Amino acid sequence: MAVSEPTAATGSNTRPDWAAELRTVVALAIPVVLSEIGWMMQGVVDTIMVGRLGPAAIGAVALGNAVCYTPSLFGVGLLLGLDTMVAQAFGRSDHDECHRWLAQGLYLALIASPFIMLLLAAASIGFIHFGITAEVAAPAGEYLRLLLWGTLPLLFYSGTRRYLQGVGEVRVVTVTYVFANLINWFGNWVLIYGKLGFPALGVRGSAISTVASRIFMAVALLGFAWRYERTRGHPLFKHWAGPQIARLRELARLGLPAAGQILMEVGAWNLATFGVGYLTPVALATHQIVLNYASMTYMVPLGISSAAAVSVGHAVGAGNPARARRAGWLSLALGTSFMALAAIVLISVPRPLIELYTRDTRVLADGPTLLAIVAAFQIFDGIQIVSTGSLRGLGETRMPMWANFVGYWILGLPLGFFLCFVLHRGIYGLWIGLTLALIVIALTLIARWNRDSVRMAFGKTASP
């Protein structure tokens, strides 16, 4: 699905076509949402496919994926600056500039990958020293030591994906993830259990399959980018740029805060889950089930956030601040509307949702109340992530990082742990703290978006 190329005209005397702009945002968002779900599915496929090997194998794959997830997300976050630079260059119809930014993104991936791989290698040999049973620690270490070789392909894929989103080519991203998951599933079947004459490698086979699917993702998207540019008469590799320190520095300036924001958010939820581990097994099970639903609904505004970054960036590059502001607000309306519907579902049928996971009466006693808390913060969760994307379209990535730091680490988590462990409100207290964090972050970021977009519309420069 290709989004029509923006023009450079400001359109100051043109009546805004809200419906057309909304369709553009939706056209960008739907494939990206599906791609985010595809990213989650790779780990799910690995866990399901090793299920027949027993609990130790399931635990090893789950642990390996969990440890790999955060450093990989940091690397992906480093490349989020491409959203800004490619989308704005595309908005100016400067295709060579788009190519130059893609090149610098891939060079940044080359620089970051060895550090991430070394971190993962160190983690893989440290499992046994953190109290994890040898039955799980040994295969988890083997799994992670093989999985880390997929780091560079994953970052190449991520950088090329940002480029394609920036130039409005989003359907190929979804198609690539569908085939990558099929390749991963088939590779798991062959390598885990020794089919078609291959040796049975168990957990190691699952890791090799995932690495192969990531290599496919990187090669496929680079191929799509080359084909797309060739058909438009702008050969991608004809004038391929070498490393340029100033551009790498600019990507790092935008990407490091974006990566920091991801770490602040993911780290906060991981710490909350760790804290629930000190309560009862029932509390931990209830927490994990409810968190799964919160994560699933989050995928939709996350995709809309990427669409917002691209749509706003296109308008900024085209010199049309009014359209940029409309694109941001339309994205926010779309994201919050979905989350409002999600909240209604969570409130309306909490028990059947919990029963999809378990019929344990103790979990069913606490789960509906916890889902009501999740429903209460759905709209704020949508606001904060879509605002983050809209701000990224303007080139602002620092404020979301600081908002997440203050919201989670200064206010939400301390309050949650105080309510949970000091006032003995248990799991409810912890989730109340997380809800407060999301409210603070959402109000901060939507206020910042409104201020910066107004300043831009009136020809003023947004302050950092």
- Please give the structure tokens belonging to residue 29: 């968002």
Four-CA torsion 100, 106, 108, 109, nearest 10 degrees: 170
Distances from the Cα of 383 to the Cα of 340, 380, 438, angstroms: 11, 5, 9
Write down the pLDDT at residue 229. 87
Cβ-contact 210, 64 below 8 angstroms: no
Concatenated DSSP letters of 276-310: HTTS-HHHHHHHHHHHHHHHHHHHHHHHHHHHHHH
Taking the model in full, what pTM does it have?
0.84
Q: How many alpha carbons fall within 13 Å on the CB side of residue 298?
A: 15
Using alpha carbons only, give the angle 96, 108, 263 rounded to the nearest 5 degrees.
125
359 vs 224: which has the higher pLDDT? 224
For 55-96, write each residue's pLDDT tens digit. Answer: 778 777 877 887 888 899 899 999 999 999 999 999 999 988
Local structure of residue 230 (DSSP, 8 states): H
Average pLDDT over residues 116-142: 83
Q: At what angle do helices 55-78 and 151-166 cross, to 10 degrees?
A: 50
Most confident region among 12-21, 24-33, 79-88 by mean pLDDT: 79-88
Average pLDDT over residues 258-283: 86
Concatenated DSSP letters of 165-223: HHTTB-HHHHHHHHHHHHHHHHHHHHHHHT-TT----THHHHHHHHHHHHHHHHHHHHH
Residue 462 in this model has a pLDDT that exceeds 50 = no
Cβ-contact 10, 319 below 8 angstroms: yes
For 211-256, write each residue's pLDDT tens digit. Answer: 999 999 999 999 999 998 888 888 888 888 999 999 999 999 999 9
Residue 275 in this model has a pLDDT that exceeds 90 = no
Average pLDDT over residues 359-386: 92
Using alpha carbons, select from 379, 73, 101 the residue that is nearest to residue 225.
Answer: 101
Cβ-contact 340, 422 below 8 angstroms: no
Average pLDDT over residues 122-135: 77
Four-CA torsion 160, 162, 163, 168, nearest 10 degrees: 130
- For residues 42 and 99, what is the distance between their CA atoms, to the nearest angstrom? 29
Write down the pLDDT at residue 224. 93
Write down the pLDDT at residue 324. 92
- For residues 42 and 182, what is the distance between their CA atoms, to the nearest angstrom? 10
Range from 12-21, 128-137, 249-258, 379-388 carrying the lowest mean pLDDT: 12-21
Residue 459 banded pLDDT, cuts 50, 70, 90: low
Write down the pLDDT at residue 278. 80
Residue 463 in this model has a pLDDT that exceeds 70 = no
* In the chain, % of residues over pLDDT 90: 59
Residue 339 in this model has a pLDDT that exceeds 50 = yes
User: Which of helix, strand or coil describes residue 5?
Assistant: coil
Strand partners, 169: 2
- Please give the structure tokens belonging to residue 143: 């799994």
Residue 287 banded pLDDT, cuts 50, 70, 90: confident
- For residues 113 and 286, what is the distance between their CA atoms, to the nearest angstrom? 36
Residue 32 in this model has a pLDDT that exceeds 60 = yes
Concatenated DSSP letters of 11-48: -TTSPP-HHHHHHHHHHHHHHHHHHHHHHHHHHHHHHH
- For residues 395 and 316, what is the distance between their CA atoms, to the nearest angstrom? 10
Q: Specify the DSSP element, H or E, that contains 311.
A: helix 281-317
- For residues 50 and 68, what is the distance between their CA atoms, to the nearest angstrom? 18
Write down the pLDDT at residue 15. 56
